Structure 1
């Protein structure tokens, strides 16, 4: 019997790497991708098929999906995990950087969804899992650009879920809170420092003091998120959303508080920083 096949983006480290391992342990055929295929050596040696894939390159997105279908004959699950977080006060982040954030976090998943859907519709089955974030439901100072991209991914996924239901294709969002990965460190290494205006020092102090981007109190492990992704891919009727970790669940509850009250609480936290 042919194994179920999954395509995972951003598998070089963190959540993507752990997700590839989880699907491999569950005996799926795993296609793990990253911008630099050499970063996938460990997964390749473990049994994954690996490929270079930069989600900002439309032709490469199409080519990888076509190659997978030629080799495997089926694509059961697409995991859109590749992404990064552009932090900084909204005024301090240039529009060029905003566009780059959306290119990776929103346009990239959209490119791969469009490449995968004709095959999934023809088979009448499949699952699309988009890695969002609790920041895709609740936005806080300094996270506006990243949150905007994740809010957009959430809206795209909600519409897509209804569009694809008649075709037997499921769509699920996985929404982690803080995760102990190199997410923030990699972003800092690859992005030029934001030219701060000096008007938002408390925002940057908050990040420095509380390690607000990843890790720290109530954070999850990449393996925790990977287990949820595998669960969503394996069930016949996945939930629309899967918050991961205690911090994610707590922050999502904050959505039900009146906006003014939530703003006051956030303001107090940033003042304390």
Structure 2
């Protein structure tokens, strides 16, 4: 039986790396793509291929796809995992940063999908897996731009699914919840960098506290849990259109489905409500470790790798 060929973006760490390794274990020929190929040694050691690619650079993306097609003649599975989370009040986030987030999380995803589709369509087979988030179904204060990109991925995926069904190509959305990866730390730092000393400072501190608690909670999952879900989806005879993972993510998405907007607003406000201490600390802002341990630029590079 011919081995299927998979391309996984954002494969230098976290969900992307674990997905590449899981697909290798299941017999796929796997290409992991990231800005820094050197960070994908685990994939190479496991028998996969590492390929340098920046999803925001059209030349880089085309070169990567052309290489895979030249070496393998096909791409059967595309896992669009590259992305990052940048937080901060909408009023505080520069529009250039908002555009950057869309370039990585939405346009980068769409661009590489355009390049792999002709071959899939001609063979009348293939699977596109778009890594969204429960953030594509719910919302948080200070997360407007990130959530906007994930809502966009959800809508893009739905349209693409019905568009490609007559051509034999499947589209699957994965909605991770709290997963212990670099994403959480990057998001916390960006919130404090953008809004830690503004009128939204108390909310920024509350957001950081809430994200930290989510990362440490029993409901948080490890990257390999999402990787297994992705692998199950691409090997299923008839995959579901969406997979929320882990179990806590299924609960949150289900809750959003049944609660009216105003009720869900109330729930979100209570979860992210600043404490008296956070209000007091915000009235006398200081340089916070969360905002200085890494710059937003460094965070973007790691997350989009």
How many corresponding residue pairs? 273
Matched with 2:172 is: 172
Which deviations, in whole Å up to 9, do the C-alpha atoms of 1:47-73 show, x marking residues without a partner?
111100100011211221111111111
Give the distance between the partners of 2:31 and 2:210, measured in 1 at CA.
36
Matched with 2:24 is: 24
Matched with 1:236 is: 237
- The verdict on how the C-alpha distance between 1:92 and 1:212 changes in structure 2, with shifts beyond 3 A counting, is farther
Q: Which stretches of structure 1, 4 residues or longer, exceed 4 Å deviation after superposition?
A: 186-192
Gaps of 5+ in 1: none
Give the distance between the partners of 1:10 and 1:150, measured in 2 at CA.
16
| Structure 2 residue 207 is the aligned partner of structure 1 residue 207 | yes
Matched with 2:228 is: 227
Matched with 2:271 is: 269
Matched with 2:291 is: none
1:7 and 1:32 in contact (8 A); partners too: yes
Q: CA deviation at 1:187?
A: 5.7
Q: Could you say what the CA RMSD is over the residues aligned between the two structures, in angstroms? A: 1.9
| Structure 2 residue 61 is the aligned partner of structure 1 residue 61 | yes
TM alignment of 1:135-154, pairs within 5 A: 135-154=135-154
Answer with 85-94 or 99-108: which moved more.
85-94
Give the distance between the partners of 1:117 and 1:158, measured in 2 at CA.
16
Gaps of 5+ in 2: 276-305
Report the secondary structure of 1:194's partner residue.
Answer: helix
Instruction: Select the structure of larger CA radius of gyration.
Output: 2
Q: CA deviation at 1:210?
A: 2.4
Q: CA deviation at 1:146?
A: 0.7
